[in-house]
Homo-oligomer: A and B are copies of this chain.
Amino acid sequence: MADDRQTRDAELDKAIGELVAANRILADQGVVDAYGHVSMRHPHDKNLFLLSCSRSPELVEPQDIMTFRLDGSPADGRTDNPYVERFIHCGAYESAPDVMAVVHSHALAVLPFSISSTPLKTVIHTASHIGETIPVWDSQDKFGDTGLLVSDMEQGRDLARVLGHNRVALMRGHGFTAAGRSLGEVLKISIYLPQNAQVYLDAMRLGGTIKCITPGEMAIRDSFGPGGRELARAIEYWANRAGCGHYLRYKKTK
């Protein structure tokens, strides 16, 4: 039983270290700035998730990682300031059991498609996990004028409804939310979504016809699964650039 306890502690340490690294990787890759956040489902309880207290992702440390219930309330008795928009994560985990990690970002390259009637398409193979449909959630549709923050469960659930079974939903004038089957998958999606948007925007400027990634191609690539050694190679690279490789070997000293 002591062994079991130790194994579980080690699993949680590993998850926390990976989540801290994910925060810093997203900052280094320009996906998040002062704002934006990334969470993962708790490794031992599907009704909880891990998310930093209110800090910019580049600065997140292991001790900043809090545990939340799916209604956004802290489950660890901590009284640190949480992110106002943690309900984005709540909605995504509550609505789909296969969602294991969530990113919320204001990445600039994606924003034009969130305010335009022209939809974003998937055109580069590194972004193929995004899938065929990229819905846009506009808080006006259900809530009228708001402060444009997802600050309660009702809004978080409405965003999750629009996200549906897709991997990414754009948020009008605000950014995007990505939901992945693993932390690595949601990192890859979040890093290549802005690049895909930039390429598609530039291709439209060329004035010719554009060939997107086909549904069949996406299905084949998706069948490779959310991880694998191609992703491991990328994580090694991203972590090295962000100078956060040591968090991938994080072990709390009790």
- Is A35 close to B, CB under 8 A? yes
Assembled-state Cα–Cα distance A152/B65 (Å): 44
- Chain A residues 81-112 with CB under 8 Å of chain B are 81, 84, 106, 108-109, 111-112
User: Residue A163 at the B interface, CB < 8 A?
Assistant: no
The minimal Cβ–Cβ distance linking A220 to chain B, given in whole angstroms, is: 5
Q: Is the CB of A213 within 8 A of B34?
A: no
From residue A139, how far is it (CB to closest CB) to chain B in Å? 9
Instruction: Report the minimal beta-carbon distance from A92 to chain B, rounded to whole angstroms.
Output: 20
A104 to chain B, nearest CB (A): 13
Q: Is A12 interfacial (CB-CB < 8 Å)?
A: no
Contact B54–A240 (Cβ < 8 Å):
no
Chain B residues with CB under 8 Å of A148's CB are 125, 128, 213, 217, 221
Across the interface, name the chain B residue whose C-beta is closest to A128. Answer: B148
Q: Is the CB of B59 within 8 A of A236?
A: yes
> Which of these binds chain B: A40-48, A154-162, A227-235?
A227-235
Can you report 7 residue pairs joining A to B where beta carbons are below 8 Å apart?
A: A54-B233, A56-B240, A81-B229, A111-B199, A112-B205, A124-B173, A138-B211
Q: Which chain B residue lies CB-closest to A117?
A: B208
Residues of A near any B CB (own CB < 8 A): 33-35, 54-56, 58-59, 81, 84, 106, 108-109, 111-113, 115-118, 123-126, 128, 138, 140, 144-149, 172-174, 195, 198-199, 201-214, 216-217, 219-221, 224, 229-230, 233-234, 236-238, 240-241
Interface centre among A54, A145, A173, A174 (most CB of B within 10 A): A173
Query: Chain B contacts of A238 at CB under 8 A?
Result: 34
Please tell me if the beta carbons of B203 and A112 are within 8 angstroms of each other in the complex: yes
Contact B199 A145 (CB under 8 A): no
How long is the Cα–Cα vector from A148 to B116 in the complex, in angstroms? 30
Checking B116, B216, B237 against A56 with a beta-carbon cut-off of 8 angstroms, the contacting residue is: B237
